[in-house]
């Protein structure tokens, strides 16, 4: 049975932990607001690029641009995985890594068996997980979310495009968390390359006059589309991470509060038992003196 001193030490430790989790919740809430605003602001631009690309794709021969050409046989796959740099955000990293494993070992099991699956890992957690297990990692970006910048998204998109154009991969899949609400991030595995009608979005009903020609515009638009999509996915994942961390720290703070209540009850009971025992010993000693 723990002593009064042991319980006091435990109460002190839980209070310290509660202060930390409460502070982390407040920090995550502040970061979430900024990350959410950035993700929401990026969506209209990315959506409009998709719409323009769909409209242009209907007016040109897509075989002229290799990034728009769907290859009949997929032998090699590049998976771009976006995770967090740190933990303490519930099952955020675990869930997205499980989805990435499913994509690699189930969706592209034949390619994985033949060594045809490689990864680009943005975020420390995913990079460490797959590196320790011997997966082929083309590039890793640990600690990328500590100073999130568009140049990283551009570099990832350019690397994926270069590998696709060289024939080193036949498909590029991005695995990330899409931010929907604080309590409901959505796990997603989206094809980045090749850019098909589905990934480009529905064709616009508006009929535009393009100057210069659609083929020239589409050559300029495709790299911008890829850069923007990777950037949007990174912003979405960052917002989802902060939401998961805020929720996890809020839950930890409430659990600490409940644990403190239980420990205080245990402390009072132990203290009362100690007092009762001391009184019994005093009474017993007084009775012994009388006799």
In a domain, 278, yes or no: no
DSSP-assigned letters across all residues of 124-180: HHHHHHHHHTT--EEEEETTGGGG--HHHHHHHHHHHHHHHHTTS-SEEEEEEEEP-
The mean per-residue pLDDT over the stretch 234-257 comes to 94
pLDDT of residue 157: 95
pLDDT of residue 281: 78
**CA-CA distance, 128 to 237, in Å (whole number)?**
18
Quick: pLDDT tens for 109-129: 999 999 999 999 999 999 999
> Beta strands 137-141 and 77-82: pairing type?
unpaired
In a domain, 195, yes or no: yes
Q: Is 121 a known active-site residue? A: no
- The C-alpha R_g of the chain, in whole angstroms, comes to 28
In a domain, 261, yes or no: no
Q: Above 80 in pLDDT, residue 58? A: no
Residue 178 near residue 212 (C-beta atoms within 8 A): no
Name the more confident of 4 and 84: 84
pLDDT band with cut points at 50, 70 and 90 for residue 200: low
pLDDT of residue 20: 94
**CA-CA distance, 174 to 193, in Å (whole number)?**
9
In a domain, 21, yes or no: no
In a domain, 8, yes or no: no
Residue 78 near residue 138 (C-beta atoms within 8 A): yes
Q: Above 80 in pLDDT, residue 262? A: yes
In a domain, 111, yes or no: yes
pLDDT of residue 154: 95
In a domain, 5, yes or no: no
Q: Above 70 in pLDDT, residue 103? A: yes
| End-to-end CA, the chain | 35
Of the candidates 28, 60, 89, 252, the residue annotated as catalytic is 89
The mean per-residue pLDDT over the stretch 208-217 comes to 73
Structural domain of residue 117, as residue ranges? 29-238
pLDDT of residue 138: 94
pLDDT of residue 208: 64
| Strand order across the beta sheet in which 171-178 lies | 137-141, 117-122, 77-82, 171-178, 186-193
How large a percentage of the chain has pLDDT more than 70? 94
How many domains does the structure of the chain reveal?
1
Residue 35: CATH number of its domain? 3.40.1380.10
In a domain, 246, yes or no: no
């Amino acid at each position: 049975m723990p002593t009064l001193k042991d319980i006091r030490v435990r109460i002190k430790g839980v209070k310290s932990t509660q202060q930390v989790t409460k502070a982390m919740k407040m920090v995550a809430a502040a970061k979430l607001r900024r990350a959410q605003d950035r993700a929401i602001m990026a969506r209209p631009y990315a959506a409009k690029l998709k719409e323009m690309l769909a409209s242009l794709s209907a007016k040109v021969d897509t075989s002229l641009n290799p990034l728009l050409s769907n290859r009949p046989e997929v032998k090699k796959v590049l998976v771009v995985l976006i995770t967090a740099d740190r933990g303490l955000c519930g099952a955020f990293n675990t869930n997205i890594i499980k989805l990435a494993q499913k994509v690699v070992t189930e969706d592209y099991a034949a390619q994985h068996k033949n060594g045809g699956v490689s990864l680009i890992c943005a975020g420390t957690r995913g990079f460490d997980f797959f590196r320790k297990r011997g997966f082929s990692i083309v590039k890793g970006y640990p600690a990328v979310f500590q100073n999130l910048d568009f140049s990283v998204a551009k570099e990832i998109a350019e690397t994926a495009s270069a590998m696709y154009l060289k024939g080193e991969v036949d498909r590029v899949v991005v695995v990330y968390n899409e931010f929907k609400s604080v309590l409901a991030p959505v796990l997603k595995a989206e094809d980045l390359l090749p850019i098909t009608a589905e990934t480009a979005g529905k064709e616009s009903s508006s009929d535009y006059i393009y100057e210069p020609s659609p083929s020239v515009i589409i050559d300029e638009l495709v790299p911008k589309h890829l850069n923007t999509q990777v950037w949007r996915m990174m912003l979405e994942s960052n917002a989802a991470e902060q939401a998961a961390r805020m929720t996890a720290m809020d839950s930890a703070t409430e659990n600490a509060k409940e644990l403190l209540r239980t420990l205080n009850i245990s402390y009072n009971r132990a203290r009362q038992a100690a007092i009762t025992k001391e009184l019994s010993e005093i009474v017993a000693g007084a009775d012994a003196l009388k006799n």
